[in-house]
A and B are shown apart, each in its own frame.
Chain A
């Protein structure tokens, strides 16, 4: 059985501007020890997907309009909040893009890691402090016994992200969601953090969902990739196949938009136009207005995912039988 199974998840936002279908009927599964990459541009729904799995969507404006999120055999969307709290930060962990805003500036690093250990593992203060030092060491922070007493502002961006990872690991998570974990970091530090996540995954056999706009990060990390556009998964494939043979016109456009480090092209082939507004989605295929292959049919009715075999799926009329 898969560790995580998301079935027909819909997360909508109700605002004055209308109904924003941030995540509109997406499904995927993830096995233990594997990495799923979710890639897409601003507003594609990748972060709302991760917040939905953590059940952290702001329910004053957002609602789960349907679907199931089966984690370890239980539907997360049906759990009472108290059960959910036990799961969050324990078997189900998350790290965010900006480590400075996710850490509390007025508490020491050790205090913040211990908090979760005492809560979830029932440790006393002393045990938790000791374990915090071990966790800091595990994520490669030099002199952990000294660093444990420091405040977030005393650490560099890379070190802060390591602290976030240490905190996320405190509950021995089975699933770690990393939402743009390296976007705020420099490229040499990004390389360090990605290498760290990979080695931790091997040691601990965790599943990882990595959410990013950077196809390079996806290529390095993911076993399988979901490409999202305007609330839809438009393509799903094993990483190697996705990069060697992208099928969806959006995936192809996205790849062409990045200058190739090994080639000298004079011009980039671009996707024209803009991502549609959440509140004003095209009726048919949401990518149709920007798609070079779009025909009349495309803008009329929604298109489902077509399975292509080999674990590949694509949402495009050109592949429908």
Chain B
């Protein structure tokens, strides 16, 4: 097993909800690790806490409880200058390339900013050279650097977002739904680019998406979240082929099938995703689970490790 890059233990993030006694439990006691060089996929539906987890992992918000270690050092207690130093090593690519670029800055200004902040000794010529190199890396042309975001298509804007993320040679990048806002043919272009960049820069990715097809294509390991908790985490093969957790089963069977082969096997979940303000007792999935037992309503299942290393939070007898 390779080295642990990011180690997250008993992480919780509660948001105030107006009712003092009932916070929104966006992330409720999750633990996981990300190994150097891998891509960990984080998948789940709205409100499962996947984006909050991504932001917590970069210390972009303070956890309510828990510890986050990056290369062995506690991130969650880091402040000021030390944190700013750390930021060079960890970056994020956001979902909406329209909202995440400053409309009043040219691509050059956007991409020069990281150097101006972190490498103050760089001359304008050096910065220019770096920005031109970066823009080439993400498949844009040198003349693009003096344009503004509105002059680009969605896919091109996302390329600028990717260039900004890799500007300072980070070790770790959180990709938060980086292709969800893009058209299918553009999605494929950006996915390939993300793969190339990962190779070239030896990156480790945390890839957050609701799209199970893309997760499968890109990731080494997958973490399935539901209502602020991790229900299953394991290798891609284990998640997609063994499908141990009933929620994983339902989620995977809900993907519309282009091959029109086994639509008969679809597991239709009844009901909606419950609110994280008022999560169900016991297992958060029990109201929608077709295997629900008495114990599921009372006790929240802990993650149990299976023989292949997959961890599953379920009261069912699983192997």
Q: Which residues of A contact B (CB under 8 A)?
A: 41-42, 142, 156-159, 186-192, 194-195, 213-217, 219-220, 239-240, 243, 253-262, 265, 267-272, 274-275
Q: List 12 A-B contacts (CB under 8 A).
A: A41-B183, A159-B272, A188-B251, A192-B268, A239-B260, A240-B260, A243-B260, A261-B212, A261-B240, A261-B257, A267-B195, A270-B192
CA distance A159 to B270 in the complex (A): 12
Count the B residues whose beta carbon is within 8 Å of the partner chain — how many?
A: 38
Given A190-B254, A219-B256, A253-B185, the answer on whether A258 and B192 have CB atoms closer than 8 Å is no
- Inter-chain contact count A-B, CB under 8 Å? 114
- Given A213-B183, A267-B192, A268-B188, decide whether A191 and B259 contact each other with a Cβ distance below 8 A: no
Question: Which of A190, A216, A267 contacts B258 (CB under 8 A)?
Answer: A216
Instruction: Provide the residues of chain A in CB contact with B258, threshold 8 Å.
Output: 215-216, 219, 243, 255, 258, 260
List residues of chain B with CB within 8 A of the CB of A267: 192, 195
A191 to B214, CA, bound (A): 18
Q: Is the CB of A189 within 8 A of B272?
A: yes
- Interface hub of B183, B187, B191, B253 (most chain A Cβ within 10 A): B183
**Is B250 among interface residues, defined by CB-CB distance under 8 A?**
yes
Residues of A contacting B271 in the complex (Cβ-Cβ under 8 angstroms): 142
| Min CB–CB distance A184 → chain B (angstroms) | 10
Q: Are A254 and B185 in contact (CB under 8 A)?
A: yes
Enumerate chain A residues within 8 angstroms of B46, measured Cβ to Cβ. 157, 186
Q: What residues of chain B lie closer than 8 Å to A158, measured between beta carbons?
A: 272
Q: A216-B256, A219-B260 are in contact. Are A188 and B269 (CB under 8 A)?
A: yes
Q: How far is the CB of B258 from chain A (nearest CB, A)?
A: 5
CA gap between A247 and B273 in the complex, in Å: 40
Query: Scoring B residues 162 to 189 as 1 if CB is less than 8 Å from chain A, else 0, what string do you get?
Result: 0000000000000000000001111111
Which of B45, B250, B257, B269 touches A219 (beta carbons < 8 Å)?
B257
Given the known inter-chain contacts A187-B251, A216-B257, A272-B189, please indicate yes or no for A261 contacting B269, CB distance below 8 A.
Answer: no
In contact, B189 and A270 (Cβ under 8 angstroms): yes
Point out the residues of chain B lying under 8 angstroms from A187, CB to CB: 45, 210, 212, 251, 254-255
**CB-based contact B254/A271 at 8 Å:** no
Take A42-B183, A254-B185 as given contacts and tell me if A259 and B256 are in contact as well, using a CB distance cutoff of 8 Å. no
Find out whether the CB atom of B260 lies under 8 angstroms from the CB atom of A258.
no
- The CA of A257 and the CA of B183, in the complex, are separated in Å by 10
B256 → chain A closest CB, angstroms = 3
Chain A residues contacting B20 (CB-CB under 8 Å) are: none
B185 lies within 8 A of A271 (CB): yes
Q: For residue A261, which residues in chain B have a CB less than 8 angstroms away from its CB?
A: 212-213, 216, 240, 255, 257
- Is B153 interfacial (CB 8 A cutoff)? yes
